[in-house]
Structure 1
Amino acid sequence: MGSFSIWHWLVVLLIVVLVFGTKKLKNLGSDLGAAVKGFKDGMRDGSSGEAAGPAQQVTNEKTAEKPTIDVEAKTKS
C-alpha cells in the first residue's frame, strides 16, 4: 500500500489526459522544452565570462515576429 504500481500511474495519466486534453498537454510540453532549452543556452552564454547585457538576451523568434496589439477593455453598464 506504500508504493504505487504501474496501474496507479496509468490511471493517473488517463485522468490527466481526460481533464486537460492531448492538445493542451502537447503545447505545455513544447513550452516547457523551449524554456529548458533557453535556460541552458543562457547558462552556456553566461559561463563564457562575458557580461550578458540586454542586447544578448535569449528571445523566442516566433514571439519576436508577432506585433503587440494594445487594446482597451470596455465595461458594460
Structure 2
Amino acid sequence: MGSFSIWHWLVVLLIVVLVFGTKKLKNIGSDLGSAVKGFKDGMRDGSAPESSSTATAQVGQDKAAEKTTIDVDAKTKS
C-alpha cells in the first residue's frame, strides 16, 4: 500500500485532464516554464560583474547626490 503502480498514476492523470482540460494545463505548464526561465536569468544576471556603463551611470548619480547634500558640524548648546 506504500507504492502506487503506473495504473494508479494514469487514472489520476485522466481525472486531472477531465477536471482542468488540456488548454488550462498547457497554460499552467507554459507559465511555470517561463517563471523558471526568468528565475534562472535573474540568478545568472545577479552573479555577473557590473558592466562599465552601469558603473559610470552610478558614479554620475553619486556626483549629483553630492551637490544636493549639505555637510554641517553640529555644535552643542552650552
Instruction: Bin the TM-score by the shorter chain.
Output: 0.5 to 0.7
3-state SS of 2:48 partner: coil
Give the residue type in structure 1 aligned to 2:4: F
Higher relative contact order by CA 8 Å / sep ≥ 6: 1 or 2?
Answer: 1
3-state SS of 2:2 partner: coil
> Normalized per residue, which structure has more helix?
2
Consecutive unaligned residues of structure 1, counting only runs of 5 or more, are 51-77
Point out the structure with max Rg over C-alpha: 2
Match of 1:12 in 2: 12
Which consecutive aligned stretches of 4+ in structure 1 deviate over 6 angstroms post-superposition?
none
In the superposition, the TM-score normalised over structure 2's length comes to 0.62
Distance in 2, matches of 1:46 and 1:17, equals 38
3-state SS of 1:2 partner: coil
Consecutive unaligned residues of structure 2, counting only runs of 5 or more, are 51-78
Percent of pairs with identical residues: 92
In the superposition, the TM-score normalised over structure 1's length comes to 0.62
Q: How many residues align?
A: 50
Q: CA RMSD in A?
A: 0.8
